[in-house]
Structure 1
Amino acid sequence: MTPLAWLGLLARDAGATLVVTIGFALLFAVPRRYLLGSALAGVLGHVGRTVAVERGVPLELATLIGATTIGVVSALLARRMRVPMSLFSMSAMIALVPGTFAYRTMLALIALVSTPSPPVSLATDALVLGTRTAFVVAAIAVGVVSPSLFLDRAR
């Protein structure tokens, strides 16, 4: 990938994440003065995941990297501004949610139960997709929460 194409990918990723993060922050009634912090956490986390995926890191581990970035940025902003960490992290992590994997898992499960004698490959697909979805969700939870645990113990 050329440097210009790489920069374009990251700019599109950052722009889309910015819109999603601010949109959910407004939906969650985050006060306007904290929107920039939410956006910063979301963009850094999602761009971090994108860079990791583009470099060949598996999606589950890349999501852990992105979620940990969101957790660290959110914890530092929360400490500095003396507000709850969730003010920044909740809207920031939405962009990491594996919507496509969850959707494909549900489609595979529906096909599995609606087919009279389903092939084994259909059950395997549903199991693999469901497992990957669960691991991505677990990576989000661990990544967002663990930095605050370590940073709070450092105090």
Structure 2
Amino acid sequence: MIPTLLNLLEVAIWSGIAAVGFAILFNIPRKAIITVFLLALGAGFIKFVLLDFHINIILASLTAASFVGLVSMPLAHRIHLPPVVYSIPAVIPMIPGYFAYETVLSIMSFIFLEVDVPKRTALMQDIFSNGFTMLFILISLTIGVSLPLLLLRKNTVKKIKR
């Protein structure tokens, strides 16, 4: 249990570091960098804990992105910056690069390399499997971040007790 928890914490810390890199790339204010790190660390921890419990990656990404969207609203009003400053860099490390890479690799092999029909059929299955997984993860990240931002408008968030 302890090694698994330490591994999950390590991956979450790397998610936070990646988010800080994107935050610096986006030139956000310095006072927001620690908050972006903590949001990405929390989102990464939630996602990888759910994946450790064998929850689907799409649902785990949606849950982690919803955490970012919900927590970024009160933080934005407390620190007086738009919530997008926190939420977008914190979610970028969860973009499914592996599935995008595998999709493109399968497309390239299907088009240029493979002539055997059974192998082409397997490549077609990989294209659709990885492509739709990537698409649904991106949709879940979008919904998870934007839905709380749309539902909790400025007026309603300020009424939340601190």
Q: TM-score range by the shorter chain?
A: over 0.9
Q: Give how far 1:116 is off.
A: 3.4
Alpha-carbon separation, structure 2, partners of 1:28 and 1:40: 17
Question: Is 2:69–2:149's contact at 8 Å kept on the other side of the alignment?
Answer: yes
CA deviations 1:74-100 (Å, max 9, x no partner) are 122112222111110111011100011
In the alignment, structure 2 segments of 5+ residues that lack a partner are 157-162
- How many residues are treated as equivalent by the alignment? 153
Determine helix, strand or coil for the equivalent of 2:152: helix
For 1:116, give the aligned amino acid: V
How far is the alpha carbon of 1:117 from its aligned partner? 4.8
Larger Rg: 2
What do residues 6-48 of structure 1 show as CA deviations (whole Å, max 9, x unaligned)? 2211221122112111111111101111111111111111111
Residues 98-107 or 112-121, more deviating: 112-121
59-68 or 142-151, which moves further after superposition? 142-151
1:60 aligns with 2:61: no
Name the amino acid aligned to 1:59.
I
SS of residue in 1 equivalent to 2:27: coil
CA contact (8 A) 1:38 1:74 kept: no
Residue 107 of structure 2 aligns to which amino acid in structure 1?
A: L
8 Å contact kept, 1:74–1:88: yes
In structure 1, list runs of 5 or more residues that go unmatched: none
Q: 1:31 to 1:153 in 2, by over 3 A?
A: closer
* 1:75–1:151 Cα contact (<8 Å) kept: yes
Counting only pairs closer than 5 Å after superposition, residues 1-155 of structure 1 correspond to structure 2 as 2=1, 4-114=2-112, 115-118=114-117, 119-152=120-153, 155=156
RMSD: 1.4
Q: Percent identity among equivalent residues?
A: 27
Letter in 2 for 1:76: P
8 Å Cα contact 1:64-1:143 kept in structure 2: yes
**Runs (4+) of structure 1 moved beyond 4 Å?**
none
Letter paired with 1:101: F
Kept after mapping to 2: 8 A contact 1:22/1:91: yes
Question: 2 CA distance for matches of 1:83 and 1:148?
Answer: 13
Q: Which amino acid aligns with 1:69?
A: F
User: Does the residue aligned with 2:99 lie in a helix, a strand or coil?
Assistant: helix
Equivalent position amino acid for 1:40 in 2: L
